[in-house]
Structure 1
Amino acid sequence: MTEESATRGHTLDRRSLLRAGGALAVGAGALGGAATLGSLVTAATASRGTATDELRIGYLPITDAAPLLVAHGDGFYAQRQLTVGRPVLFRSWSSLMEAFLTRQVDLIHLLMPSAIQLRHVIGADVRVVGWNHTGGGAITVAPHISEVGQLAGTQVAIPGWWSIHNILLQRVLRANGLTPVARRSPSRTDGTVELVVMGPSDMTPALATGSISAFTVADPFNAGAVARGVGRLHMLLDQVWRDHACCVTVVHQDLIDNRPDTVQALVDAAVAAQLGIRADRPAAAAILSGGGYLPQPPKAVEVAMTGTVPDPQGGPDRPRIDFHPYPFPSFTSELVRQMRLTVVDGETRFLDGLDPSRVHADLVDDRFVRAAITRHGGPAALGLPASLTRHERLV
């Protein structure tokens, strides 16, 4: 099933949209896709369709979605008596968000900064119920690029303005004396790098033709570019922000209100899938490829799911991507602070009124994932601290 076959539509409360006020006048670039935020609002107020008992999951073909996909492919939803259709593949974040707002899908994985945007710009009554993963993103450069300084005067592709990839790429650029810019020709003399939003599937061809000098995105696109010989892995984004979240699991508040047992079963299935992935990564990669969930070459998917890199602090090798479900409040707070430092082509005024320490309580409902963690062996079984607290580590 593809995004074109997702047809159910519901409506977002117009009063919620009105709360967004003037912030709705934002360009397409802020979404990282062709749709403007205004068009998402229009879609969100479309005619209400007929709901069914079958739950639908929307996703982009990246390893970030692995727990939701493995839970389907390995039967974890069925084990919990959930009727979940085959996950629906989307090609852009904007189309995925539009489908979610119009209730064509019930559950999605979404960039955490974009979830904050949906909540605080549109006023969508959505909740994050858990993390999908940690890490999994990278900066891939053209083969002739050996150091970050060589990116000066070039274009670098990002998957969306409100993405962890953009936020961390900009930290790397600034740390190397470069200045990220949007809608401005880059200058080698001035040390500027123009950031351009690009669909993940278009990044590798653009790198191969020299249209861009580098890109940052989720795997397996980084692994795919390396496998094709058109790119070189410069660094994992986990080296910039240790154990950062990228994609999170998002549902509508009314699903929580009306069907809390269903939400609990969904989160239980996702946590079970995370445990399964951590226990047997090659098997998970085989499900993602063999089940047709990820259309990239199986070898690239396997590398993305099973690969490791040296720990810069001298510890054991670290996985390219890991799977920890608990949404740490400290991460949400720091993310809001980092968003304020990030150059984007779009509206940013909504950040001015946000108290970083309060965003988490407003956006995240961790009751279900806490219960799931307890059911599945406790924090240690999922590589989490017993206190479920931590300090954020950025370089």
Structure 2
Amino acid sequence: MTDDLRGHRLALSRRSLLRAGGALAVGAGALGGAGALGSLLSAATAPRGVATEELRIGYLPITDAAPLLVAHGDGLYEQRRLLVGRPVLFRSWASLMEAFLTRQVDLIHLLMPSAIQLRHVVGADVRVVSWNHTGGGAITVAPHVTEVAQLAGTQVAIPGWWSIHNMLLQRVLRAHGLTPVVRRAPSRAEGTVELVVMGPADMIPALATGSISAFTVADPFNAGAVARGVGRLHMLLDEVWRDHACCVTVLHADLAESRPDTAQALVDAGVAAQLGIRADRSAAAALLSGRGYLPQPPKAVEVAMTGTADDPDGGPPRPRIDFHPYPFPSFTSELVRQMRQTVVDGEAGFLDGLDPSSVHADLVDDRFVRTAIARHGGPAALGLPASLTRHERLI
């Protein structure tokens, strides 16, 4: 590819990203304005420097990234003859997606709704190759808030418009007679709640100062707010959509097609990491903290990784976060339907032309994870049904 053509494509990616507006961004402040975006693009388009096959992983410092981080920390990539640099930490979804689109990083974990948007709004040729986890998100409220109705007339923070957190929060608000609004002052009398996008690292301070009444995000930020005494865990999002996927593993389609052995090894390492986490969650938490992958207090990481919650169906306590790698087609279809019911500050018209039953085949490449599951003990070893099919359960 010539330099001119490469520059043209990068410019198109940037314009597409900006056209998507707030639906992709985590807020203007997350990137520090246009200057920061330009700096990021400059860094992303600079030569990688060394003539190796080194792969780069990008992540946000949340437990959703645990399989990718544990795979690196436990040497699972090296065992499969992959040269993978230390995963690169990003502070916002916007900066992570920008780096991925401009190929600063090769593989990321990403909010599943955002993966759909990258494919159908930005036009990025990306593939979801596995799920990173299920559950792991929550709604955390200010200590004085004891019921959802008290959120009327306040602001609540979300990590991104196209996030499972935003979607399920809105479902909870509506179930309690509240209406989510965007760019509009909330009204207690009218029962409205203003949603504001905020970087996860900014949520705990905002809750502590009272500028927001609640937030929904991945752990360990929920556990961190509770540990600091500035928040109370209201509910886990798994109570709203049982075993939902939040983050998925995403790579560029050309990597999967031109280097299938590499793609397979990456997925194998991720599935092996998930098995290891399920076998010893405390050890995984210690690795995530001890190796500096997650900069939050170790106690918050421990709670997030090992904590359990009562099963509303009366079964044994359920993990706060679990690790099931198979991307169920039924989930993707239902996700598209739920996205259509979600209020966002940005372009949502692309959903009108999507057939929920066809999105999965276009976006998800499950051949690698199927092979990885078979190599690592089969579905039962990973808590999956033998048929690799399921019925989605939402309240």
Pairs within 5 Å for 1:376-387: 376-387=376-387
Contact 2:135–2:322 at 8 Å: present in 1 too?
Answer: yes
Q: Among the aligned pairs, what percent are the same residue?
A: 81
8 Å CA contact 2:242, 2:394 repeated in 1: yes
| Aligned mates of 1:323, 1:52 — CA distance in 2 | 32
Alignment of 1:106-255 (within 5 A): 106-255=106-255
C-alpha distance after superposition, 1:130-157 (max 9, x if no partner):
0000000000000000000000000000
State the superposition RMSD in angstroms. 2.6
What is the CA-CA distance between 1:23 and the residue it aligns to? 9.4
The equivalent residue for 2:343 is 343
Secondary structure at the aligned position of 1:95 is classed as helix
| Counterpart in the other structure of 1:56 | 56
Return the alpha-carbon distance in structure 2 between the equivalents of residues 14 and 122 of structure 1: 15
Normalising by structure 2, report the TM-score: 0.92
Change in CA separation of 1:84 and 1:186 when aligned onto 2, cut-off 3 Å: same
- How many residues align structurally? 386
Tell whether the 8 Å contact from 2:57 to 2:88 is kept in structure 1 after alignment. yes
C-alpha distance in 2 between matches for 1:253 and 1:386: 28
Matched to 1:156, the amino acid is: V
Tell me, in whole angstroms, the C-alpha distance in 1 between the residues paired with 2:46 and 2:362: 28
Write the deviation string for residues 139-196 of structure 1: whole angstroms up to 9, x where unpaired: 0000000000000000000000000000000000000000000000000000000000
Q: Structure 1 46/261 Cα, relative in aligned 2: closer, same or farther at 3 Å?
A: same
- Is 2:87 the counterpart of 1:93? no
3-state SS of 1:352 partner:
helix
Distance 1:69 1:343, change over 3 A: same
Partner SS, residue 119 of structure 1:
helix
1:77 alignment partner in structure 2: 77
Aligned mates of 2:17, 2:56 — CA distance in 1: 30
| Cα pair distance change 1:74/1:45, threshold 3 Å | closer
Q: Contact between 1:63 and 1:219, CA under 8 Å: does it hold in 2?
A: yes
Change in 2 beyond 3 A, CA 1:334/1:54: same
Tell me the SS of whatever aligns to 2:325: coil
Distance in 2 separating the partners of 1:93 and 1:19: 16
* Deviation string, structure 1 residues 75-120 (Cα, Å, up to 9, x no partner): 1111111110000000000000011111111000000000000000
How far apart are the structure 1 equivalents of 2:74 and 2:13?
A: 41
Please tell me whether the aligned partners of residues 32 and 162 of structure 1 are also in contact (alpha carbons under 8 angstroms): no
CA–CA distance in structure 2, aligned partners of residues 361 and 41 of structure 1: 32
Q: 1:130 & 1:215 partners in 2: Cα distance?
A: 27
For residue 342 of structure 1, what is the amino acid of its counterpart? T
SS of residue paired to 1:327: coil
Which residue in the other structure is 2:25 paired with?
31
Task: Name the counterpart of 2:293.
Answer: 293
Change (3 A) 1:286 1:24: closer
Q: For the structure 1 residues 393 and 143, does the alpha-carbon distance in structure 2 shift closer, same or farther, using more than 3 Å as the test?
A: same
Q: CA deviation at 1:258?
A: 1.4
Q: Contact 2:45 / 2:104 at 8 angstroms: preserved in 1?
A: no
Alignment CA distance shift 1:256-1:11 (3 Å): farther
The alignment partner of 1:129 has SS state of strand
Q: CA deviation at 1:372?
A: 0.1
Q: Does 1:354 align with 2:348?
A: no
Measure, in 2, the Cα distance between the counterparts of 1:242 and 1:194: 26
- Whether the 8 Å contact between 1:62 and 1:294 is mirrored in structure 2 is yes
Aligned residue type for 2:116: I
Q: Does the CA-based 8 Å contact 1:65-1:109 persist in structure 2?
A: yes
**Cα pair 2:140 2:234 within 8 Å, conserved:** yes
Secondary structure, aligned partner of 1:156: strand
Report the AA paired with residue 142 of structure 2: A
Question: In the superposition, relative to structure 1, how do residues 24 and 350 fare at CA in structure 2: closer, same or farther (>3 Å)?
Answer: farther
Give the distance between the partners of 1:212 and 1:21, measured in 2 at CA.
32
CA contact (8 A) 1:152 1:192 kept: yes
What SS does structure 2 have at the residue aligned with 1:215?
strand
- Measured in 1, the distance between the counterparts of 2:13 and 2:83 equals 35
- SS in structure 2 of the partner of residue 351 of structure 1: helix
Contact 1:177 1:191 (8 Å CA) reproduced = yes
Task: Decide which moves more: 102-111 or 38-47.
Answer: 38-47
Taking the aligned partners of 2:14 and 2:330, their CA distance within structure 1 comes to 26
What is aligned with 2:31? none
Write the distance in 2 (CA, Å) between the matches of 1:264 and 1:10: 33
SS at match of 1:31: coil
Is there any run of 5+ residues in structure 2 with no aligned partner, and where? 29-33
**Residue 52 of structure 1, CA deviation:** 3.7
Q: Which amino acid aligns with 1:31?
A: A
| CA-to-aligned-CA distance 1:185-212 (integer Å, 9 cap, x gap) | 0000000000000000100000001000
C-alpha displacement of 1:24: 6.3
Cα distance, 1:42–1:69 mapped onto 2, change above 3 Å: closer
Q: Output the amino acid matched with 1:333.
A: S
Q: Identify the residue that residue 104 of structure 2 maps to in structure 1.
A: 104
Q: What's the TM-score, normalizing by structure 1?
A: 0.92
User: What secondary structure is seen at the aligned counterpart in 1 of 2:380?
Assistant: helix
Contact 1:17 1:123 in 2 (8 A): no
Per-residue deviation at 1:26? 3.2
Deviation at 1:257, TM superposition (A): 1.4
Distance 1:342 1:169, change over 3 A: same
